[in-house]
A and B are shown apart, each in its own frame.
Chain A
């Protein structure tokens, strides 16, 4: 029973990590249709932001909290730069975008290697996040609770922004019908840039959060990029809701498979399930239903 609840929590926690890594992608890939292979490197940039800030702010707790917004801005600015210089020139050329952003990913990795050195670096976890919270006989690691909370907060804020603000309305309008949005006076160009900024910024936040769990090195992003795309594809293009459901389902499935078999086999089983699922529902869990205008 204990093990069951522990695994349930492990699955939710894994889901929240997947969600954080994929949320930004759900915006840039899901909403805008840009295949950004450098998304993982924005995560990496966020992680290194936490590392750099720690050198300036001795208190690990304060520096983590400062790193979250700073990581957002760093990731966002990198994304904005990429959008303005490269991606904006190749909308409607998805395969070119894929190759170009893959190249950018390699450049960013090498840049990190040159600036910070090839070995991994360490970000100290604050004292108030060490240890675990006893709950129903289980011990829930505080770092994982923190990440779960952070992921939920990001989703809530993002969906509120999309729903209530004028920026959100412009984003949704552009996604649903770019031409009509433009004729209605929405600057789709500016909207694209902002969307990309926000999406990449969330990757930065994810990077900061991941410093609590794993290694911080130049290839941090490549560890998560596949899973992030999986979440968005399974969740369905164009809806945040899909990404949320997909992230937690995949997390729970992975944890269950891993507990009953082995880590390697669990990955295989997960892919089998995803392939089978996409056979039945190629559009993903949740798809946008709009009336076609053309």
Chain B
């Protein structure tokens, strides 16, 4: 056994060294999430150039699914993978695409943008897939974009994001800002809210969204009475909620991400605010998150999305039933899952319209391809590769599901650069 023979004089020195070492380690631990350098993307422009190696001769066609199954994003991206698998299974059971069965090559993006870029490169160049489906964070998409452009392949990206992007090689099946943020503000304006408080996590999406909201507010006679950002993983919202309370706000627009929502809503409830007096519109809380925050803490609060499990349509009934049968009764369906499911069908529609798996032919055929998705009919815009979709403002019910209380007049045309809004001039 070990014996302990620390002479006292060295104990204190050691203790100091120890504390320094512990502190350094603790700090490294907290920083290592974001500190990796961006290697790997630059060197990947390969000799194969744009020549596609996709094999269309057999009776099957390869496609790639690239989602994080490990790391911090795994919680969310696993659900997207599940619904992609479901869509592929359904398409195969119905005879495949152009008579070919889909053969899935699955990869793990590991919540690291550089891994996403590497795996995308692998899927395109060595697996020779016809298209890739996946990505969640904007940083993963931005890391993959140059790969898809230089290899001239296709990525289908299923998550709402901050807009201001349009690549010929990416199809964006989640909402851009004018299909989620602006309808959310439209709703608040319609309700006669005049003083809005902005709270968000400190990274690109909330800051971009809030820039847009500020411009919107100025044009629509709404006062922004506060704008607060919390570092990702922030756990104590006493101060921010104090500021919110003393600001006199009559509504909150919430772009917080992940765990921070829990701490924020618990604090909000603790100081006695309620959805009746100061409603919170959230854009990152979907059905799965409600359980983790605690239904009691968010019941009656609002969300802005383009799909809820409760959307009433025959397509959605089929989708929800199929999903629950495959993955279990207690699994909810949510907006990004639905957008991923839809993306596979949209690709199928484009391929069938083009009569080919060729990238150029698909880009040519994309405009106007539509699909009766669970969220309602969606249509691809050939110019910016986004899709027209209906916006829904939802209210969180006591059962943890979200119920639509307001919807846009039909599908909203995607406008990632907000060119159709006078007040948005100068934002992009």
Residues of A within 8 A of B (CB): 2-3, 6-7, 9-10, 13-14, 17, 29, 33, 35, 37, 88-92, 94-95, 98, 102, 118-125, 130-132, 139, 141-144, 176-179, 182, 188-189, 192, 212-217, 219, 222-226, 229-230, 232-233, 237-238, 254-255, 258-259, 262-264, 267, 282-284, 287-288, 290, 292-294
Can you sample 21 A-B contacts with CB below 8 Å? Answer: A6-B242, A7-B239, A7-B242, A29-B22, A35-B18, A94-B18, A118-B74, A120-B293, A139-B272, A178-B5, A179-B7, A182-B4, A213-B266, A214-B259, A225-B29, A230-B26, A264-B202, A290-B8, A293-B9, A294-B7, A294-B10
A178 touches B6 (CB 8 A): yes
Interface 9-residue window, one of B128-136, B144-152, B225-233: B225-233
Residues of chain B within 8 A of A120, CB atoms compared: 259, 262, 289, 291-293
Residues of chain B in range 245-264 having any CB-CB distance to chain A below 8 Å: 245-246, 259, 261-263
B80 to chain A, nearest CB (A): 13
Q: Across the A-B interface, how many residue pairs have beta carbons closer than 8 Å? A: 199
B234 contacts partner chain A, Cβ-Cβ < 8 Å: yes
Chain B interfacial positions (CB closer than 8 Å to A): 1-2, 4-12, 14-23, 25-27, 29-30, 72, 74-75, 78, 202, 228-231, 233-236, 238-240, 242-243, 245-246, 259, 261-263, 266-267, 269-272, 288-289, 291-297
Asked whether A293 and B234 contact (CB < 8 A) given A213-B266, A259-B239, A263-B239, the answer is no
Q: Which residues of B contact A144 (CB under 8 A)?
A: 238, 270
Per a CB cutoff under 8 Å, which of A10, A88, A188, A215 touches B239? A10
A91 to B, closest residue via Cβ = B2
- Inter-subunit contact B7/A122 (CB<8 Å): no
The 4 closest A-B pairs by CB, nearest first: A120-B292, A141-B270, A215-B262, A122-B294
Indicate whether A95 sits within 8 Å of B21 (C-beta atoms), given known contacts A263-B234, A264-B229: yes
Give the residue of B29, B74, B236, B272 whose beta carbon is less than 8 angstroms from that of A213: B236
Nearest-neighbour CB distance to chain B for A146, whole angstroms, equals 11
Once bound together, how far apart are the Cα atoms of A13 and B79, in whole Å?
A: 37
Give the interface centre of A89, A120, A188, A293 by most chain B CB atoms within 10 Å. Answer: A120
How far is A226 from B4 in the complex, measured between Cα atoms in Å?
A: 28
Q: Which residue of A lies closest to B246 (CB)?
A: A3
Alpha-carbon gap, A29 to B8, bound state (A): 16
Instruction: Out of B27, B246, B291, name the residue touching A119 (CB < 8 Å).
Output: B291
B292: chain A residues within 8 A (beta carbon)? 119-122, 215-217
Give A201 to B233 CA distance when docked, in angstroms.
25
A258 partner residues in chain B, CB cutoff 8 A: 239-240
Q: Which of B1, B7, B15 contacts A293 (CB 8 A)?
A: B7
B259 with A223: CB separation less than 8 A: yes
A263's partner among B5, B229, B266, B267 (CB-CB below 8 A) is B229
Say yes or no: B2 contacts A222, CB within 8 Å: no
**A267 proximity list for chain B (CB < 8 A):** 231
> Is B262's CB under 8 angstroms from A35's CB?
no
On whether the beta carbons of B235 and A214 are closer than 8 Å, the reply is yes
Query: Judging by beta carbons under 8 Å apart, are B293 and A219 in contact?
Result: no
Inter-chain CA distance A91–B246, complex, in Å, is: 52
**Docked-complex contact A3 and B21, CB < 8 angstroms:** no
- Which residues of A sit under 8 angstroms from B75, Cβ to Cβ? 118-119
Q: Determine the chain A residues whose CB is within 8 A of the CB of B21 once the complex forms.
A: 35, 94-95, 98
Known: A10-B238, A290-B8, A294-B7. A264 touches B259 (CB 8 A): no
Q: A119-B292, A139-B272 are in contact. Are A35 and B22 (CB under 8 A)?
A: yes
* Chain A residue contacts of B233, Cβ below 8 A: 222-223
> Quick check: B238 and A122 within 8 Å, CB to CB?
no
Contact flag A264-B231 (CB < 8 Å), given A14-B236, A141-B271, A288-B12? yes
Closest to B262 in A: A215
Chain A residues positioned under 8 Å from B246 (CB to CB): 2-3, 6
Given A130-B269, A215-B263, A264-B202: A282 touches B15 (CB 8 Å cut-off): no
Contact yes or no, B12 A214, CB < 8 A: no
Q: Tell me the smallest distance from the CB of A150 to a CB of chain B, in Å.
A: 16
Given contacts A118-B78, A233-B19, contact A179 B239 (CB under 8 A): no
Assess whether A124 is in contact with B238, with CB atoms less than 8 Å apart: no
Pick the residue among A3, A142, A233 that contacts B242 (CB under 8 A): A3
Q: How far is the CA of A258 from the CA of B267 in the complex (A)?
A: 16
Contact B259–A217 (Cβ < 8 Å): yes
Contact of B271 among A123, A132, A176, A230 (CB under 8 A): A132
- In the complex, which residue of chain A has the Cβ closest to the Cβ of B292? A120
Residues of chain A within 8 A of B2, CB atoms compared: 88-92
Determine how close the nearest CB of chain B comes to the CB of A107; give it in whole angstroms. 14
- A264 CA to B260 CA, complexed, in Å: 13
Q: When A3-B242, A14-B238, A212-B266 are in contact, do A263 and B228 touch as well, CB less than 8 Å?
A: yes
Residues of chain B lying within 8 A (CB to CB) of residue A293: 7-9
CB pair B267 A141 closer than 8 Å:
yes
Report the bound CA distance from A142 to B118 in whole Å: 50
| With A33-B14, A223-B259, A264-B229: A124-B26 Cβ-Cβ less than 8 Å | no
Residue in B10, B235, B261, B272 with the greatest tally of chain A CB atoms within 10 Å: B235
Measured between alpha carbons, how far is A290 from B30 in the docked complex, in Å?
35
Contact between B263 and A214 (Cβ–Cβ < 8 Å)? yes
